[in-house]
Amino acid sequence: MKFLIVEDEKPNANRLKKIVEQLDSSFQVVDIIDSVAGAVDWFNKNPHPDIVLMDIRLADGLSFDIFSQVKISSAVIFTTAYDEYALQAFKVNGVDYLLKPIEIEELDAAISKVKQNHISASNNPYLDELIGYIKQKEVQYRSRFLFPYKDGYKTINVSDIDLIYSEDKNTHLILQNGSVQIANQTLEEMEEQLDPAVFFRANRQYIININSIESIHNHFNGKLKVVVRKLPQHDILISKEKAPLFKQWLDS
């Protein structure tokens, strides 16, 4: 069986590839794609594999946009961080998706389901329903977070967060008042829960609130340097590849 991985986080993609190859020595990962545009181009130019392992949110949009631009004949297994119980109802319909982090037993079961039912994106009557459901969930972004505080709890509004960054395996929220809150979620989990119209994943270390940006400068080799309030000493760099997407985000 041949597999295509559509995932914009390199560690997740590499882990998926390793799991696929561990399951069966005859399984082959033909390519790893990290964007909607890249996936559409790949499907238009290459024979479609048996199975596509597809993340829901990619660097340049939702993976559902791929389906409106190209007809995929492969079986599609979505990978996501959405609520386990809400999504469980869809499993009985033969569409599968796996909650991150992906475990080898779960992927094995999903592949077996595809084999037994001969599921593909083109003959699956539940795919449109699944896409519609998750698109609906997609707009329900976080408005606040709850944190332990002294002998109780406190809430922090998302609108009060200027910047999120990862350091020493901890996720830091920099608030408008200058204070810092440590969060249990990873940057990947935060990104899934925040409105992409307001927050942008600059790189593997930073998520920026559009309202916190003070200035943007050209940097070496086509990169951009972003200066934000509260942390002007941090050099937040946007790669050459991601710079057009960043500019589009600012101009939308």
On whether the pTM is more than 0.85, the answer is: no
C-alpha–C-alpha distance, residues 231 and 227, integer Å: 8
Q: What local confidence, expressed as pLDDT, does residue 44 receive?
A: 95
What tens-digit pLDDT sequence spans the chain (252 residues)? 999 999 988 888 999 999 999 999 999 999 999 999 999 999 999 999 999 998 887 878 778 788 888 888 888 888 876 554 345 435 433 356 777 778 889 889 888 888 777 655 555 555 666 666 555 555 568 889 999 888 899 999 999 999 999 988 899 999 988 899 999 888 888 888 888 889 999 998 999 999 999 999 999 888 999 998 867 677 799 998 888 888 888 886
Q: What local confidence, expressed as pLDDT, does residue 125 receive?
A: 55
Q: What local confidence, expressed as pLDDT, does residue 38 receive?
A: 93
Query: Given the structure tokens 């070496």, which residue do they identify?
Result: 220
Q: How far is CA 185 from CA 33, 164, 176, in A?
A: 25, 11, 20
C-alpha–C-alpha distance, residues 215 and 203, integer Å: 17
- 27: alpha, beta or left? (left if phi > 0; alpha if psi -120 to 50): beta
> Both ends of the chain: CA-CA distance in Å?
41
Q: What local confidence, expressed as pLDDT, does residue 95 receive?
A: 55
Contact by Cβ (8 Å): 73, 128: no
Q: What local confidence, expressed as pLDDT, does residue 84 receive?
A: 47
Q: Would you say how long the chain is, in residues? A: 252
C-alpha–C-alpha distance, residues 12 and 6, integer Å: 10
Q: What local confidence, expressed as pLDDT, does residue 163 receive?
A: 92
C-alpha–C-alpha distance, residues 47 and 210, integer Å: 40
**Structural domains in the chain?**
2-138 (3.40.50.2300), 145-250 (2.40.50.40)
Q: What local confidence, expressed as pLDDT, does residue 244 receive?
A: 85
